[in-house]
Structure 1
Amino acid sequence: MDYIIDVKELRKEFTSHSSRSGLKGAFRDLFTRNYTIKTAVDDISLQIKKGEMVGYIGENGAGKSTTIKMLTGILTPTSGHVRVNGMNPHKDREQFVRSIGVVFGQRSQLWWDIAVQESFRLLKKVYNVPDEFYNTHMADVIETLAIEPLLDKPVRKLSLGQRMRCELAAALIHNPPLLFLDEPTIGLDVLVKLKIREFLKEINAKYGTTILLTTHDLSDIEALCERVIMLDEGKIIYDGALRQLRENWGEGKQIQFSFAEEATHAELQSLTHDHLVVWDQGSNASNWTASVENNEDIISAVIGQVVGAKKIADLKIVEITTEEIIRNIYEEGAVRNG
């Protein structure tokens, strides 16, 4: 099969100097140094097909950004096989960068003090994009992202949401077949996030653009990606459909209670001791959530036991969210491949 990203046993280690304590230790460090090796990415393998939109998720320090930097040629792997767009990202760097688009949420590729459209024109020259294609393609991108009023403004005068829309447009000037997005919606308001999500869906449908998305905002993943790859301590602990992740791990329901009076964990646990119930306190001692098995009899029994003993101001039954599922997987240290 023709994969746009093909990674086998990819590994990245960082070596750091470890200082000895005290004056004697500092003197010894002048002649012999202690070094420690940290493995950021630990022999991962993954394949992504053309046209896929894949969520790449994990906690801080899991190795997500290090992986992206190796896939984009910024970092050289310690070992392993990497082919992206049929090229080695590090060795074929000049040709390779013309075939990808990259947006880092906390770094800019636009020039700070010049107008946005001047940055676009400079990038057009860098990527050697023909005038006719640029005019047609960018007119579509500018209209879809609603950034025409921003083109004459210096980047430094843009809000974060405005700048991120312009960053996204800049990454697509050469219409790359592969787009890397590292926290593209960080700090953005809901309306801007929705606009960016709709735009990404559109370019994926229109051009077949492959998108690899890393984010802490799981609503981005749910809105865009059918497949999710989960990383923990440099290893892939899940690679499969988001739907299957929910089916495998999200079998329970949550009952949200708002009590008319304060309640304690021990009190609630005692009321529902006949069933496996996990109680979590909300914003105050009157709001509690009971996580239970997705079984009508058990749900009814738990509600009956609680309502019979406590005055209820409000009650709601909800599906366990993707965020809760993933949090539980990390907390339990579970490993399951899909």
Structure 2
Amino acid sequence: LKVMETNINTMMEFVLLGFSDIPKFHWFLSGAFLAVYMIILMGNGIIILITRVDPALQTPMYFFLSNFSFLEICYVSVTLPRMLMDLWTQKGNISLFACATQMCFALMLGATKCLLLAVMAYDRYVAICHPLHYPIVMNHKTCIQLVAGSWISAITLSLSFCGSNQINHFFCDIPPILKLAYGDIFVNEMVVYIFAVVFVTVPFMLVLGSYTRIISTILRLPSNTGRTKAFSTCSSHLIVIVLFYGSAIITYLKPKSNQYEETDKLLSLFYTILTPMFNPMIYSLRNKDVTEALRKFLPKSLT
């Protein structure tokens, strides 16, 4: 009974190991991740601001982009501040409730991100493949409905734990937590796979279908100028999709094994932190409308 009581008390909290295996670099990592967080907040914040104030960006494409930037800020804020605190204090203790809350929000926002990327691909499909119908199909009401639908997603898991309470990860994610569960976790693993299929694979297939039609339409355009202009409107979005979906699909659908723990952390670091930092750069550097809006906005904001 004492052993059972000790296990129950121990499992009231977890320990996020994070980057504790390289303690000599914790100050360097703290500074680097703090800089990354500031870049993410500033970069995505500027995207949100210019798409609101610039009349040339009042289109469905930039409406979705501003929502995507806001989602990126929310998504990274679920994991990065906690990781920075753990690096500063050199303690990774997190309560069971806080861990469950972080995991729930990370999954909800991750699912929303997948769905919103699919919506943005559909927007480009209508704009390029059916340009005459674009103002009718992608009207303001439809855009709001698509964004609202993307934000409505959730998942709940119920697990029992025993043995170690150490999570070899920098935030509470399903794959590393499942490794601590005991008993028959087949149902929970099936929930994870169903979640991955519904919210990752299905949207990815929709994106793939949309871009297959888009590329086919672009290749049939008569002039090189038309093809270049059409492809430039969706190339930024395509790069973001490859970066995010590539790492997410590998993380959630590959076989679970302890030998992949360090790889899991690197992949998670890539799609939770690095892609939100790169996305504003990708959209601003590869989009003439955004760069032109920035040229007009930045001088005004500095004066």
Question: TM-score band, normalised by the shorter chain?
Answer: under 0.3
Larger % of helix: which? 2
TM-score by length of 2: 0.20
Task: Compare relative contact order (CA 8 Å, sep 6+) and give the higher one, 1 or 2.
Answer: 2
TM-score by length of 1: 0.19
Specify the structure having the higher radius of gyration (Cα). 1
